Amino acid sequence: MPNQNEQLTNLRHTLAHLLAAAVLELYPDAKPTIGPVIDNGFYYDFEFSPANKPTEKDLQVIEKKMRSLLPSWTSVTGKEVSQKDAKDLFSKNQYKLELIDEIAAAKQPITLYTSGGMAGDASANDKHSFTDLCRGGHSENPSKEIKSDAFKLTRFAGAYWRGDEKNTQLTRIYGLAFASKKDLADYENMMKEAEKRDHRKIGKEMDIFEFDDDVGAGLALWLPNGGAMIEELEKLAKETEFIGDYVRVKTPHLAKDTMYLKSGHLPYYEDSMFPPMEYEGGKYYLKAMNCPHHHKIFASRPKSYRDLPLRLAEYGTCYRHEKSGELFGLMRVRALQMNDAHIYCTEEQFASEFRAVNDMYIKYFKIFNIDKYVMRFSTHDPKRLGEKFVDQPELWKKTEDMVRKVLIDSKIPYIEVPNEAAFYGPKIDVQVWSAIGREFTLATNQVDFAVPKRFDLTYIDNAGKAQTPLCIHRAPLGTHERFIGFLIEHYAGNFPLWLAPVQVKVIPIGGKAGDTSSGEAHVKAAKDIHEKLRALMIRSELDTSDDNFGKKVRNAKNARIPYFIIIGDKDVVAGKVTLESRDKGQIGQLDAKEVIAKLTAEISNRA
């Protein structure tokens, strides 16, 4: 009996087939290609003839057709067929033929799944049946299991066949799908809230980052406000890592191909790396990952067991060759600054080191008020050794068992996902949920048992023998780009004081430049506390613009600044200032020393 997650996945997979069936009834000359499940539903890619291609207004027509077909879909059955039979069935669809040949070449079974009507008969002519090339995983009785009010089609998009821009551009139709009408409504409400919190919109409003065509797609420019946030995140990471006995290193932004061939990244990862630069008879690649550089640092000096564990940390900038269509604000970029570190340890030290990394994650979750999280433990597929994963079955089993034991002993919530490990070892992707319940992949934690050996990394054990260390790759804060994108949504731009780009706005009521009335005293007092705050590295701004007082306050609130200090006649007479909070309203009239003590304590505690 499938669990709830599997049931939902199967339901969404069946709906992708139902979408394809509906499209073929309305557009008989369309060519279905692939239709996978995604986190919130499904999609299917089609090639339509230019003369008979749907538009946005046809989305509801297709959706209505899906609902009309659903009652007749009382079963979904599959059967294995020969390569010839499959190719005969899809003889007019070059996309399916390509997939069939690939499946056959990989010596995998070729299976067809038929939905509705005369289920199980791939040659059925029943108008309600639909047969597709498929590996399976479906609702057993879609007419009962799929609620007609719990799915909807959302949009069209362009997509290249196999994600390659050199191939035919197809039409992708996206759909949402959930177990109930309520779940669908809850998701849509969450997405409406997410739209208000869109990191691209708020990032622009708050002058955090920018993209520019002359710089290039996916290459973020951090404006001063974004720079301030980066400095704070780096400060947090450096303090935490210093306490954890990490040492900091710096590595170049590019390296020769020989290093990436040695690490194995070129054979396994080349598509995600920028093309090489020819220079002085060699090839140089922009750095796509920091680990090979750190391995070289480890190897640069002899090591003994007394030197381990060695924890090398770096906020290294990496470059990924992401496709244009996959770029998305700060969430998917081509240049990324990574909170990276590599821990070299003995097998006996592994459990405590891996647990310490997980404890670091928990600490960060508390600081950023992340209440819901899960570790996504990705393991290998024994059938794909040598193809997708390094061919060392014994080490795979050993390291996966070690990781699993740490997770269980630590009582950390986790799910296990097969066939998604890194090529060199098992990994954990850290899934977190923002304040509005949206899921993000925040960071990664990986075990590497293969690459240290490729680099001949060794240490001398207490018996005087050379041994290869294990390596833990970890990045608890992920990248500046993705993490700040997440934080913008999580806080809706209302950042805590320590992280806010501008922490305090000082507003003299009579604050016009050159004011010779009582406002001059307001400005003098405002400048005094502003300078005291700046002397303590508190990011204070002084507003002496020509705007009236009401507009100055509105501007500060619209900028989501945590605190405003207001100075008027009563404050000047009392020798105090009035403190207001973005979140709690007016706090009251306080002595400047009290204000400074309150703010510095809140910043220091990262409250």
Beta strands in 479-539 (DSSP E): 504-508
Q: What is the pLDDT of residue 93?
A: 96
pLDDT tens string 95-110: 999 999 999 998 999 9
Q: Does the pLDDT value for residue 515 go beyond 60?
A: no
Grouping H, G, I as helix, E, B as strand and the rest as coil, residue 79 is: strand
Q: Which pLDDT value is given to residue 242?
A: 97
Helical H segments across 146-210, by residue range = 181-196, 199-205
Backbone angles phi, psi at 519, to 5 degrees: -60, -25
pLDDT above 90 for 412: no
Amino acid at 579: L
In angstroms, the CA 338 to CA 234 distance is: 10
**Plot region of 301 (φ>0 → left; ψ -120 to 50 → alpha; else → beta):** beta
Condensed to tens digits (0 to 9), the pLDDT of residues 248-292 reads: 999 999 999 999 999 888 877 888 899 999 999 899 999 999 999
pLDDT value at position 6?
Answer: 86
Let me know if domain 199-251+289-491 sits in CATH 3.30.930.10: yes
Predicted pLDDT at 128: 61
pLDDT of residue 122: 41
pLDDT of 387 strictly over 90: no
Q: Which residues of 540-554 are buried (b: 16+ CB within 10 A; e: fewer)?
A: bbbbbeeeebeebbe
The CA distance from 335 to 354, in Å, is 28
| β-bridge mates for residue 178, sequence order | none
Q: Is the pLDDT of residue 422 over 90?
A: no
Residues of the chain with CATH 3.30.980.10: 4-183
Q: Is the pLDDT of residue 69 over 90?
A: yes
Q: How confident is the model at residue 450 (pLDDT cuts 50, 70, 90)?
A: confident
Between 580 and 394, residue with greater pLDDT: 580
Residue (of 504, 507, 506) closest to 548 by Cα position: 507
Cα–Cα distance measured from residue 223 to residue 208, given in angstroms and rounded to the nearest whole number:
5
Residue of 389 and 398 predicted with greater confidence: 398
Ranges for all domains in the chain classified under CATH 3.30.930.10? 199-251+289-491
Interatomic CA distance for residues 7 and 451, integer angstroms = 38
More confident residue, 549 or 381: 549
**Contact yes or no for 142/70 (Cβ under 8 A):** yes
369 — pLDDT class (breaks 50, 70, 90): very high
CB 378 within 8 A of CB 426: yes
Mean pLDDT of 200-226: 96
Parts of the chain belonging to CATH 3.40.50.800: 504-604
**DSSP one-letter code for 469:** P
Amino acid present at 545: S
Please check the confidence at residue 565 and state whether its pLDDT lies above 70: yes
Give residue 517's pLDDT. 60
The model's pTM is 0.83
Percentage of the chain with pLDDT > 90?
76
Assign 490 a pLDDT band (cuts: 50, 70, 90): very high
> Is the pLDDT assigned to residue 513 strictly greater than 90?
no
Residues ≥6 apart with Cβ < 8 Å to 510: 517, 518, 519, 520, 521, 522, 523, 568
Q: Is a pLDDT exceeding 70 seen at residue 163?
A: yes
Cis? peptide before 496, omega within 30° of 0 = no
User: Tell me, which fold does domain 504-604 have in CATH?
Assistant: Rossmann fold (3.40.50)
pLDDT for residue 123: 43
Q: What is the CATH number of domain 4-183?
A: 3.30.980.10
Q: Residue 451: pLDDT band by 50, 70, 90 thresholds?
A: confident
User: Given a cut of 90, is residue 238 above it in pLDDT?
Assistant: yes
Nearest to 376 by CA among 342, 421, 329: 421
Q: What percent of the chain has pLDDT over 70?
A: 96
Residue 126 has pLDDT above 60, yes or no: no
Phi, psi of 583 (to 5 degrees): -95, -30
Residue 119 has pLDDT above 80, yes or no: no
Q: What is the mean pLDDT of the chain?
A: 91
pLDDT of residue 398: 85
